Structure 1
């Protein structure tokens, strides 16, 4: 079962997403993208397969987004990708790739839409929000 997560261990959303993947009994390929960013082609492919624009995939909070002037609407996708690859902290996270699809998992439970296996046990996010009940079913808000 091939599942890959582009992970930042300092990010609660990324940690919750990884835990939801592991809650299926699968150990994914974990790529700490700050140390090992995707290639330009790989990043472009993930963004497209997730149904996002390049701008949708940029992280603003806690990054040099504003200082670099990346909010300028005149910047092309290529220029934005250049910035993201030069400073991977600008890549929003976590991206998850499975045989079912690719998603930017914000919030973390978005990953449930592309996991090929069901949840095995209850799951509560780090903030205390219950996402999976005792029968392994997703709890709707």
Structure 2
């Protein structure tokens, strides 16, 4: 099985892979319990696998869904407030870049217009942010 081959190759290089998880029960059965993610160790074959965090995103293992938790704090609608919300979104894989890129443009426009960090943003950017 591929998982066993990967473990062997990594061991040859001096690496040990741990915290394995899969939505395929046959794959999990080939991995020793000590090497599995903690949420998998005590599961029966019929149990539903939980949500795991990997690379800053939430992975719902059974239905192979990747989700994000984004808290939009009640910040003032100024460059500083918007930027603090935008940079709090951790997306190392770029999966929500279509959303975050648009928000970053909203932060850049007042900068181009030489508006201060704590000044009220123009109506256009305000509407774009609300959308």
- Please classify the TM superposition score into its range, dividing by the shorter chain length: under 0.3
Q: Which structure shows the bigger proportion of residues in strand conformation?
A: 1
Q: Which structure shows the bigger proportion of residues in helix conformation?
A: 2
Rg (Cα) greater in structure: 2
TM-score normalized by structure 2? 0.26
